[in-house]
Amino acid sequence: MKRIQQIAIALITASVIFTACKKETLPNPEPVEQELITTVRLIVTNNAGFNKTFNYKVDNGFGGTTQGNVQIDDVVLAPGTEYNVEVQVWDESKSPAENITEEVIAESHHHLFIFQSNPATGEGSISFSNGSKDDENEPLNQKITFTTGAAGNGSLTVTLKHEPANKNAATPDEAGGETDAQAIFPVKLQ
Amino acid sequence: MYRTLLLFLFSLSIIYSSTAQQECNININVLVVETHNGRPLYPVVAHIDETGATYTTNEKGRFVIDSLCPGKYTFHFHSAGYEHHAEQVTIGRSTELKFRLAHLEGVMDEVIVSGTKEHGLLQDRDELSSRQVSAQSGKTMADMLQAINGVTIISNGATIAKPVIHGLYGNRIVMLNNGIRQEDQQWGGEHAPNMDPFLTNNLSVIKGAASVKYGTDAIGGVVLAEPSPLRNTHGWDGELNLAGLSNNRMGVASGVVNHNFKDIPALSFRLQGTYKRGGNYRIPGHWVANTGVEEKNYSAAVGWKKLHYGAELFYSHFNTDLGIYRGSHTGNEEDMLAAIRSDSPLVPADFSYQLARPRQHVVHDLLKAKTYIDTRLGVWRATYAFQHNFRQEYDVQRVETDDAQLNLTLNTQTLNLNLEHRQLWKLKGEIGVDGIYQENVMQAGDRVFLPNYRSTGAALYAIERYYGSNWTLEGGLRYDYSWYEAFNPEGRNQEVVRYEYHFNNLSGTLGFTKRLRDDWQLTTTISNAWRSPQANELFSAGLHQGAARIELGNKNLLPERAYNLNIESKKQFGNKLSTDVSVYTQYIRNYIYLEPGADILTIRGYFKVFNYKQTNAHLTGTDLSAAYAWNDKLNTTAKASFLFARDAVRKDWLILMPADRLSLNTTYTTDFSSKLQECFISGDARYIFRQWRIPSNFDAIDYPRPPAGYFLVDLSVGSKVIMGKQPLYISLTAMNIFNQRYRDYLDAFRYFIDQPGTNIVLRLRVPFSFNEHQEH
């Protein structure tokens, strides 16, 4: 019996020690929001000296639990005009802001920008041509030409697809893959 | 010879998804008496290796075994204060068997006290024997458990599955791995339990709330995976299991070796290992991209057994790599809808063993040390365990990297002290204390998923049974205390905020069983259980990639409390028909669920937000089974399972509950010659209804509606082949033989792809044994 008692005491002591003894701090590494995008930016220029930047910015980007601030610029352009457009994606939650476009271009074959205009033709519409190519000479559309239609209002949807199954797609559905960013700009042709 | 013969009835159960027990028609009356004075002994727990069944003697020292098939059976008897007794018996017809147990004092023999064989609960319990487990080799453990009535699965395709007991799963189920609560990271439907089914001698399921014995979280029930006791007679034995599966070209190999030393009879060991590798699986018409799996598991056990005391050391290592169907990770709601609208998988694929992103890598280690001492007071046990769980998730990345985006470590230490006291008057039972310490940490640079947290818990419990004449009354009480501390990064700068929680709870159980007649037993149990909210329910704040939605934790959640009533009737009608009817109802206060909220705008478009909320749930259901023996060779088993799961506050159905189901199995078994025995052919058919019990706001939460009902047929043939003295068990099974296209409501891939098509499985099982001389 004595031996049993000894063992029992030892075990109880051990249990008390390992349940009661808690460390003062638990290491808490700072989590990193991976590959965050907060902003889709259109840099629009033309030969006539037009030079404007339009932002679609969601403060919390993605993965936030609240919506945060949203800034959506109206894309105000002249009707019946050709523009050179460069699209950029940024992480503006960092300081200084990080240009994610470089990563997209580095992995250009795994990405595709898709431009959609609503309406597709007529007043307030934009048509797209001369999209830039990726490193395997398939569409990437990071640089593209806008040709505006007649005066009116519409909307422009810019989607960045990751690993699209169809690089020649004109809509996100056709493209497959995963949506990394989708910006819907109001369009005013005036 | 004993291990070899343990496997004798293998072929009867090799049938995929067969019944928990093969129904034959022999009834055995067993009487257990004390060696010296011949008085009946009770309660004695008897376990039969071949069937995996456990019995308890009544006050007359008796119990009845129904519906046995002819064959050799190994009986084990355990009773505190008595010598463990094992004996092999050949059974050919209905008869009475008498066994004698010796008192520990003065008997110079070995003793086995197996903490896992006696479960001390009268609750509804079903088992799969080791043969039934290896007859399903290649499947996930959860899939194997589906053979038990009332158990279904929630899955992410064919390779990731979790068991669902009476509609409850995940954190609401406790899994016991070799007597230790499995502490792995089951944060979501895509996180399967990390256990090797080959480790177990049998798998059993306790249905309904069972916190008193198994601790917090056992709201839906308990899954017990129990290895067989270590060898106690000198010699070697072992077994090799091989399986090849056609659908995903999977190979499975598992082996086990047991040894007991001739010169050191107290010392035994076991070594076990499993390797499994499969590629992309196939649904009717298509390969499914990136759904391969690789698993490497091993375990070792060493035991030291003396007359009145002993110790055991156990270590197991589980290591898996799992691919996740690429098309199930969608970027936004639009992507998800496009995938739902498409009739074929959006990500085309060929066959490959290669794993790409998204994929998971999970390692689980368990180290367990156990010691026991048998005294006049009863059996004292102390069990310490350390578990290390490491989960890595590799997300699809824009920039090529070898890093995982999630590296979570969960370390758990548990200690249990238990006294199973010797019978006092007509009372038998156990008391004990439990302690747990747990830490969950992420790695620097991980994506936000869970806060780091740690918790400590302690509990005190007692379960007593009173044995009356042909009835037993059981009562149990448990007090739990737990403390929980989390460090949650919050806000724009991800500043760490500390949260502290204290939970305590009293749980109870009350069971009553009565043998109305020799062929009719009625059991009623009332039990309860509780569960404190998990880290993901409290803090989760982010995207659920597989469902394209954002889930938001709720820091004010209260513990869930469940109250369960179960009535079970087991009745035998003559020699031909036996029935098992079980009816249950369970009320869960503060049931935690996800409620849809507003949409929020992200850089990927609008997402629906789901908030963790609480309500009161009321789950009622029934499991029915009937077995009919047409003759010595032909048996049929029919099963049905129904569940009605209500939200008691909103007076509405609960979402994501398993649909009603029916199944029918018919098996014909015969011996062709002395070389070709136990040959069988078996057909298994099951129908799963469309789940029509869905909440009225279903369309706002989920799309599309639950998939249509489906009918599946499996066919199996097999035999025991004697080559020289060596038996081989071989079988060929065709699952989903008609290559039926179907989707299941509880499969997260139902939005994207069908379930697997036909799968043909060839299985081989080779038991071996080398003994210096005959035992027993």
* pLDDT value, residue B20: 37
* pLDDT value, residue B18: 35
3-state SS class at B340: helix
Q: For the residues B191-203, what does the mean pLDDT come to?
A: 87
* pLDDT value, residue B270: 96
Residue B348 lies in a domain: yes
**Best of A28, A55, A87, A89 to mutate (most B CBs within 10 Å, chain B):** A28
Q: Is the pLDDT of residue B776 over 60?
A: no
- B602 contacts A14? CB cut-off 8 A: no
- Asked if B660 contacts B690 with a C-beta cutoff of 8 angstroms, the reply is no
Higher pLDDT, B11 or B236: B236
**Best of A6, A11, A13, A155 to mutate (most B CBs within 10 Å, chain B):** A11
Q: What are phi and psi of B179, to 5 degrees?
A: 85, -5
- pTM of the model as a whole: 0.82
Q: What range does the domain containing B436 cover? A: 222-770
* Chain B environment of A173 (Cβ under 8 Å): 334, 338
Structure tokens at B678: 């136990």
Q: Is the pLDDT of residue B118 over 50?
A: no
* pLDDT value, residue B23: 44
The residue length of chain A stands at 190
In this structure, what CATH number is given to the domain that contains residue B388? 2.40.170.20
Q: How far is CA B773 from CA B74, B299, B611, B768, in A?
A: 18, 28, 65, 15
* Chain A environment of B371 (Cβ under 8 Å): 7
A24: exposed, middle or buried (Cβ count in 10 Å: 0-12, 13-18, 19+): exposed
- A8 contacts B489? CB cut-off 8 A: no
Q: Which of A4, A20, A161 sits opposite B375 (nearest CB)?
A: A4
B213 to chain A, closest Cα gap in Å: 19
A154 to chain B, closest Cα gap in Å: 18
Q: Is the pLDDT of residue B112 over 60?
A: no
What tens digit of pLDDT does each residue of B563-608 get? 999 999 999 998 899 999 999 999 999 999 988 887 888 888 888 8
CB count, 10 Å around CB of B359?
Answer: 20
Q: Strand A75-77 and strand A178-189: pairing?
A: parallel
Residue B180 lies in a domain: no
Of B513, B508, B527, nearest to B586 (Cα)?
B527
Mean pLDDT taken over chain A: 84
What tens digit of pLDDT does each residue of B642-656 get? 999 999 999 999 999
Residue B89 lies in a domain: no
Confidence label for B233 from pLDDT (cuts 50, 70 and 90): confident
Q: Which of B373, B375, B447 sits opposite A34 (nearest CB)?
A: B447
Higher pLDDT, A137 or B43: A137
* Chain B environment of A179 (Cβ under 8 Å): 330-332, 334-335, 604-605
- A26 contacts B415? CB cut-off 8 A: no
Q: Is the pLDDT of residue B251 over 90?
A: yes
- B489 contacts A30? CB cut-off 8 A: yes
What tens digit of pLDDT does each residue of B91-108 get? 877 778 888 877 654 332
* pLDDT value, residue A31: 61
* pLDDT value, residue A12: 54
> Residue B277 pairs with which residues in a beta bridge?
B251, B294
**ipTM of the complex in this document:** 0.80
Q: Write out the H or E segment, with its range, that includes residue B233.
A: none
- Asked if B225 contacts B539 with a C-beta cutoff of 8 angstroms, the reply is no
**Strand runs labelled E in B106-247:** 125-128, 151-156, 160-165, 168-169, 173-177, 180-181, 202-207, 221-226, 235-245
Structure tokens at B180: 């230790």
Please tell me the distance from the alpha carbon of residue A77 to that of residue B502, in angstroms, as a whole number. 61
* pLDDT value, residue B288: 95
What tens digit of pLDDT does each residue of B514-562 get? 888 888 889 999 988 899 998 889 988 777 766 677 888 899 999 999 9
* pLDDT value, residue B770: 78
What tens digit of pLDDT does each residue of B672-711 get? 998 999 999 999 999 999 999 999 999 988 889 999 999 9
Residue B74 lies in a domain: no
Q: For the residues B185-206, what does the mean pLDDT come to?
A: 86
What tens digit of pLDDT does each residue of B323-348 get? 999 888 877 888 888 888 888 888 88
- Asked if B47 contacts B78 with a C-beta cutoff of 8 angstroms, the reply is yes
Choice among A16-25, B333-342, B424-433, B745-754 with the minimum mean pLDDT:
A16-25
Choice among B40-49, B181-190, B436-445 with the minimum mean pLDDT:
B40-49
Share of chain B above pLDDT 90, in %: 53
Confidence label for B113 from pLDDT (cuts 50, 70 and 90): very low
* pLDDT value, residue B243: 95
* pLDDT value, residue A41: 96
Mean pLDDT taken over chain B: 86
- B380 contacts A65? CB cut-off 8 A: no
Share of chain B above pLDDT 70, in %: 92
Find where tokens 């071949």 sit.
B50
Q: What is the residue type of A135? A: D
Quick one: how far is CA B465 from the chain centroid? 26
* pLDDT value, residue B121: 65
A99 to chain B, closest Cα gap in Å: 13
Quick one: how far is CA B561 from the chain centroid? 22
* pLDDT value, residue B103: 64
Q: Is the pLDDT of residue B111 over 50?
A: no
Cα of first residue to Cα of last residue in chain B, in angstroms, is 10
**Mean pLDDT, contiguous 10-residue spans, chain A (190 residues):** 56 51 54 76 94 90 70 94 95 88 92 94 94 94 95 94 90 87 93
Q: Which of A58, A106, A178 sits opposite B335 (nearest CB)?
A: A178
**Best of A5, A65, A92 to mutate (most B CBs within 10 Å, chain B):** A65
CATH of domain A31-189: 2.60.40.1080
Q: Is the pLDDT of residue B17 over 50?
A: no
- A26 contacts B454? CB cut-off 8 A: yes
Residue B343 lies in a domain: yes
Q: For the residues B406-410, what does the mean pLDDT come to?
A: 91
* pLDDT value, residue B241: 94
Choice among B40-54, B411-425, B556-570 with the minimum mean pLDDT:
B40-54
Overall number of domains in chain B: 1
Residue B498 lies in a domain: yes
Q: For the residues B129-143, what does the mean pLDDT come to?
A: 86
* pLDDT value, residue B438: 94
Number of A–B residue contacts, CB under 8 Å: 158
As separate numbers, helices (DSSP H) first and strands (DSSP E) second, chain B gives: 8, 42
What tens digit of pLDDT does each residue of B294-318 get? 999 999 999 998 878 999 999 999 9
Structure tokens at B16: 């995929």
